[in-house]
Amino acid sequence: MRKKTKSRQKSAPKKSAGKRATAKATKAAKATKKVVKLATRAKALAKSAKEAKSVKKPAAKKAVANGLPKPSAKPFGQAGKALEGIRVLDFTHVQSGPTCTQLLGYMGADVIKVERPGVGDITRTQLRDVKGADSLYFTMLNGNKRSITIDSKHPKGKEILERLIKHCDVLVENFAPGALDRMGLTWDYIHKTNPRMIVASVKGFGPGPYEDCKVYENVAQCAGGAASTTGFREGPPVVTGAQIGDSGTGLHLAFGIVCALNQRHRTGRGQKVLAAMQDGVLNLTRVKLRDQQRLKHGPLTEYSQYGEGVAFGKAVPRAGNDSGGGQPGWILKCKGWEEDPDAYIYFITQAPVWGAICDVIGRPEWKTDPDYATPPARLPRLKHIFDTIEQWTMTKTKFEVMEICNEVDIPVGPILSMKEIAEEPSLRETGTVVEVDHPTRGAYLTVGNPVKMSDSITEVKRSPLLGEHTDEILGKELRYSAKEIAEIKSSGAITAPEKGTRAEAA
């Protein structure tokens, strides 16, 4: 927003009244000329397209009628960022909320992260790998943000927050249920202070019996149905490495915020946006709710337990590495699996390329054998089929299998280790894996914007140090004078309490 005001000022220099009138008249004359020109063009078009029932209005005329801006003449990628001008008051911590606000930052929003003086987001010190430096847990989730320290329970801190609420468009938080209210930042107060503000929250559960519970990633994976459907039939439920509870919900919340911003264009007012982690996980596990309903009508034939003759119970079972769709798949060993725990490939026996699979693995007779030729015939034999394919994949590296199969359109995917991903040049080239410099910890890798846009190019910036932008935000944006800032500092509202002077610091 600061930039926007600046450029606006630049493009609209002050004019004298006389000059303004002349400019207005010239503009009006030009506009009339343009309308005449467009009308003539439209007439010509109508004439040449006699058979057309309705004549489309020229795009420029439609744009003017809609009150929408004309398409930018700037080259793609040079017309600012998607969320430029949007200010986010970021009250998030740990993973779910920070994922959301980092994405908003990647899209160009100005994200102001409010942190507790002297402490900051708890993840700054969690899983620390470099002594004295912010952890990777923090740095990888808080890029493209500025940090201000404010004690939100201090009277002066509350006053600063009021100014920030008036200054920003969106407040994002993922405190435990009730914590925001306990700070005095109720919806009523925020909405009264800034009716345009969108208040977006991540909570563990939506309204209901568990609404007051604190929730972490794996709790959400379990409560959202992911854990009961992950793992092997014979074993216990398993949680996944993908942070579908935290980062997944952050992603859902970001979507809600962008929709609320769009609705605000029409209504002029903000609204509450809630993304519950249980709901987010369930949304990502919806195929298993699909299967739950299919169970009423018979066994799930694409699950390998069907082929193995194991009866289904009342709930969707864990399906090991079965493919979630209608095309059977499994993880198979590749050359070197004895030493390398990631020498595996995911192999899908997609029906349209069954013939190619038979040729590649040296079983051309399966193409016509009635026991193997059709998908239903293969279902009871999937284990044998995958064992046979594995005999072939074990003679090749996962990348060789990839090359051979891709050549004939067989869908396969190598199991990539995090080491391989970190070193993969194509991911660096696309900006999905980015190396960022940091003043106290040195260079680190982070995940850039997973969504690529042709007119909003992401620049990944390092995470801020604790309170790095406090003075800048108080002075330049909230317009506190140097004297006032000095008073705020001595009040303890933005600085860490002396050790032992506050119960909270213990």
Give me the residues that bind ligand CAO (CB under 6 A), please.
Answer: 94-97, 114, 116, 150-153, 174-176, 179, 182-183, 202-204, 214-217, 246
Q: What are the CA-CA distances from residue 64 to residues 16, 71, 81, 201 (Å)?
A: 28, 11, 23, 38
Q: Please, which residue, 401 or 494, has the CB nearer to ligand CAO? A: 494
Bridge-based pairing of strands 344-348 and 433-436 is: unpaired
Q: Please, which residue, 151 or 390, has the CB nearer to ligand CAO? A: 151
Q: Please, which residue, 184 or 195, has the CB nearer to ligand CAO? A: 184
Least Å distance between CB 193 and ligand CAO? 18
Q: Are 303 and 279 in contact (CB under 8 A)?
A: no
Q: Which residue has the tokens 């009342």?
A: 314
Least Å distance between CB 468 and ligand CAO? 15
Q: Please, which residue, 159 or 342, has the CB nearer to ligand CAO? A: 159
Least Å distance between CB 124 and ligand CAO? 13
| 246 is a catalytic site residue | yes
Compute φ and ψ for 172, nearest 5 degrees. Answer: -115, 135
Bridge-based pairing of strands 110-115 and 198-203 is: unpaired
Least Å distance between CB 13 and ligand CAO? 42
Type of residue at 204: G
HSE of 118, CA atoms in CB hemisphere, 13 A: 14
Query: For the purposes of burial, counting CB atoms within 10 Å of the CB of 467, is it exposed (0-12), middle (13-18) or buried (19 or more)?
Result: buried
Distance CA 189, CA 175 (A): 17
Instruction: Report which DSSP code applies to 477.
Output: I
**Which is the catalytic residue, given 246, 279, 291, 322?**
246
The pair of structure tokens assigned to 149 is 């320290």
Q: Please, which residue, 212 or 308, has the CB nearer to ligand CAO? A: 212
Residue 169, beta-bridge partner list: none
Look at residue 318 and give its three-state secondary structure: coil
Least Å distance between CB 117 and ligand CAO? 7
Least Å distance between CB 129 and ligand CAO? 19
Q: Which residue has the tokens 């046979």?
A: 388
Least Å distance between CB 132 and ligand CAO? 22
Q: Are 261 and 197 in contact (CB under 8 A)?
A: no
Distance CA 428, CA 77 (A): 19
Q: Please, which residue, 277 or 348, has the CB nearer to ligand CAO? A: 277
Least Å distance between CB 153 and ligand CAO? 5
Of 109, 63, 65, which is closest to residue 89 (Cα–Cα)?
A: 109
Least Å distance between CB 14 and ligand CAO? 42
Look at residue 366 and give its three-state secondary structure: helix
Distance CA 92, CA 76 (A): 32
Q: Please, which residue, 203 or 469, has the CB nearer to ligand CAO? A: 203
The pair of structure tokens assigned to 73 is 């003449």
Of 165, 173, 169, which is closest to residue 201 (Cα–Cα)?
A: 173
Q: Are 98 and 121 in contact (CB under 8 A)?
A: yes
Q: Please, which residue, 183 or 197, has the CB nearer to ligand CAO? A: 183
The pair of structure tokens assigned to 265 is 């264009």
Bridge-based pairing of strands 412-414 and 110-115 is: unpaired
The pair of structure tokens assigned to 211 is 């609404």
Q: Please, which residue, 152 or 304, has the CB nearer to ligand CAO? A: 152
Q: Which residues are catalytic?
A: 246
